[in-house]
Amino acid sequence: MSQPRPAHKRILLKLSGEALMGDDAFGINRGTIERMVAEVAEVVGLGVQVAVVIGGGNIFRGMAAGAAGMDRATADYMGMLATVMNSLALADAMDRQGLVARVMSAIAIEQVVEPYVRPKALQYLEEGKVVVFAAGTGNPFFTTDTAAALRGAEIGAELVLKATKVDGVYSADPNKDPSATRYATLSFDEAISKNLGIMDATAFALCRDQKLPIKVFSILKSGALRRVVMGEDEGTLVHA
């Protein structure tokens, strides 16, 4: 019997730095990152091309007191370096689990990682490698959400996956309101009118303009990533 085919061939996975912390106050929890990589390995095994953008909040959180009152651009550049650290850790964990990962940075640190070059990134994806985009957009004042939307559009991703700690977008905070219901689908206009705050405004506008759908799901839920790429009812789909 033939295996079912994934609903999506190429995806951009947006991970927050906080997702790597597990139960720790900051930094990287080894067990958590290994479990996430196992989920990614499963979908790569299905033939899905995977790119990743990761935040740096887990590392920057440990420097929060020292960064208080800092110039915004300087703080953003520090945040970019934090994403490079997370990207290297993620790529190392992938290599340990048999995946081939390539880290590409939006800022030049050629002794550490290679620079982002779009044709090279596309080549890696076609070869079945996981591409991890580091350092956001390479510019201050733009979030890693915006980097995910930008890179997703550039590589022709079919879907941007916003990995969170909640299994979708709800009508209210499910931790505070037991009657809150999960939206299976939302249009971009509905999400804006309801002020749901799925991504920052710049990232959201870019996805809407490029008609690049966003799937919000829980990265903590076992097997959720596979169900998303198979087109099952998992998380919330935000579309044009």
Is 167 annotated in a binding site? The answer is: no
Q: Is 152 a known ligand-binding residue?
A: no
Give CA–CA dist 169/191, Å, rounded.
9
Encoded amino acid at 75, one letter: A
Residue 217: enclosing H or E segment and its boundaries?
A: strand 214-218
Is 143 within any annotated ligand binding site?
yes
For residues 132 and 102, the answer to whether their CB atoms sit within 8 Å is yes
Q: Is 6 labeled as ligand-binding?
A: no
Q: Where are the alpha helices (DSSP H) in the chain?
A: 30-45, 57-60, 64-67, 72-96, 118-126, 144-154, 188-193, 201-209, 224-229
State how beta strands 130-134 and 101-105 pair.
parallel
**Any binding-site annotation on 170?**
yes
173 annotated to bind ligand: yes
Is 139 known to sit in a ligand binding site?
Answer: yes
Torsion of CA 123, 126, 132, 136, to 10 degrees: 60
56 annotated ligand-binding residue: yes
Q: What is the DSSP letter of 165?
A: S
On whether 31 is known to bind a ligand per the annotation, the reply is no
Sign of the torsion angle spanned by Cα atoms 171, 176, 177, 180? positive
Q: Binding residue per annotation — 17?
A: yes
Q: How many residues does the chain have?
A: 240
Residue 133, annotated ligand binder? Answer: no
Ligand-binding site membership of 2 (annotated): no
Give CA–CA dist 151/138, Å, rounded: 12
Is 164 annotated to bind ligand? yes
113: left (phi over 0), alpha (psi -120 to 50) or beta: beta
45 is in an annotated binding site: no
Residue 16 labelled as part of a binding site = yes
Give the residue ranges of the annotated binding site. 14-17, 56-57, 61, 76, 137-144, 164, 170, 173
Give the residue ranges of the annotated binding site for UMP. 56, 76, 137-144
Give the residue ranges of the annotated binding site for ATP. 14-17, 57, 61, 164, 170, 173
